[in-house]
Amino acid sequence: MIISSESYRRLVSRAPATIQAGRAQYLTSPQPAAVAGPASNAHIFSEHAGRALEPSAPTGMIDIDRSSELGTAYPATTTNLLARYLVLREGDEHEFLARAASVLCYVIKGSGRAFREDEVIEWTEGDAFLYPGGEPILFEAPNGDAVLFVVSDEPFLASLGCAAPPDDEAKVQSVHYTAKTIAAQFEDMQAGSKTPTTQAVLKLGSAPFERAGCVAPLMAAGLATMEPGAEQAPHCHDADTISLCLECDKVFSLIDGNRCDWVPGAALLTPAGAPHSQHNEGDRRMVSFFVQDRGPRGVRTWEPAADEAVAASESETATLAK
């Protein structure tokens, strides 16, 4: 193909003058949607739970890896978080080194110990505990089989190409939330309520993130309960939410109008922005442990109707301004 001198001059004038200019990308319509990144889809990871809770499951980690869906080159459950199950057979130990700023654990069953540097946490069923990443954590279950749910912010650090902060610079400190204290907190919430409540949420916090309602920089976490026969009003969150289904007989969620039945021990992913509600049609109280991917915007909760009202108001204002 012969290129005219004019075409050649245009090509040369548009060629990047520097390496840095060559890296520049310009996203124009209809491309802007790509800026938001991949959206999550609602899903309950019952297969992963089944593998972890199988009596013959070997000691080790079972990642809930959605990297192919998220388009990442590293394991991830949401944009910034990776959830996994840790299986410990009686008498076994497992060393875990996370390239993460924070590692949050919830004990689904069993008891044992976790060692990091010169710190040790003795945990039992229903406990939650937090460690900084960056150094090996040794888990052991000397008195019986155990299964833990472990969530870290490894994907966030991987996306930045960063190492975990050294201990003398780390903001996250080790914290232990005991099942006994968690139960007492729920009792106090119920006793302090002027009217009977069918739902309760207890958020976990740690310094210096408690003012933001968080347990770690990119994690909001806690436990939720719902009495038999109760149901939530539809609402939305700005953040992807990973809910670990604990007590959940005849419990289901409606997510974007689709029913998702809860499975004991399974993790349920509710996408950011998706209208959803929880429903307890069983005879027992629902209990779940949840972790939310805060991302840069934090976690905001709103009702779809309110969101529609805001949109309608903005539309009306725009019309009046014409």
Question: Per-residue pLDDT averaged across 58-87, rounded?
Answer: 97
What is the structure's pLDDT at 301? 54
Higher-pLDDT residue of 312 and 44 is 44
Return the H-helix or E-strand segment holding 21: helix 19-22
Report pTM. Answer: 0.84
**Does residue 35 sit within a domain?**
no
What is the structure's pLDDT at 287? 97
**Any long-range contacts for 111-118 (C-beta under 8 Å, 24+ apart)?**
111/141, 111/143, 111/144, 111/146, 112/88, 112/139, 112/140, 112/141, 112/142, 112/143, 112/146, 113/139, 113/140, 113/142, 114/138, 114/139, 114/140, 115/140, 116/174, 117/167
Question: Per-residue pLDDT averaged across 78-82, rounded?
Answer: 97
Give the side-chain half-sphere CA count within 13 A for 49.
17
Q: What are the tens digits of pLDDT across the range 94-151?
A: 999 999 999 999 999 999 999 999 999 999 999 999 999 999 999 999 999 999 999 9
Question: Per-residue pLDDT averaged across 232-259, rounded?
Answer: 95
**Does residue 227 sit within a domain?**
yes
What is the structure's pLDDT at 48? 98
Q: Sorting pLDDT into bands at 50, 70 and 90, what band is 238?
A: confident
- Of the ranges 174-183, 262-271, 288-297, which one carries the lowest mean pLDDT score? 288-297
- Check pLDDT > 70 for residue 163: yes
What is the structure's pLDDT at 19? 80
Note down the domain range covering 146: 40-308
What is the structure's pLDDT at 220? 94
Higher-pLDDT residue of 168 and 20 is 168
**Does residue 62 sit within a domain?**
yes
**Does residue 25 sit within a domain?**
no
Domain count, the chain: 1
Higher-pLDDT residue of 314 and 167 is 167
**Does residue 313 sit within a domain?**
no
What is the structure's pLDDT at 198? 82
Q: Sorting pLDDT into bands at 50, 70 and 90, what band is 213?
A: confident
**Does residue 21 sit within a domain?**
no
Q: Determine what percent of the chain is predicted with pLDDT higher than 90.
A: 70
What is the structure's pLDDT at 212? 84
What is the structure's pLDDT at 32? 46
**Does residue 120 sit within a domain?**
yes
Higher-pLDDT residue of 15 and 230 is 230
What is the structure's pLDDT at 99? 96
**Does residue 33 sit within a domain?**
no
Among 49, 50, 82, 52, which residue's Cα sits nearest to residue 66?
A: 82
- What CATH number is given to the structural domain containing 95? 2.60.120.10
Q: What is the pLDDT of the chain when averaged over all its residues?
A: 86
**List of E strands, 47-186:** 60-64, 82-88, 93-96, 102-109, 111-116, 119-124, 128-132, 137-140, 146-152, 175-177
What is the structure's pLDDT at 18? 78
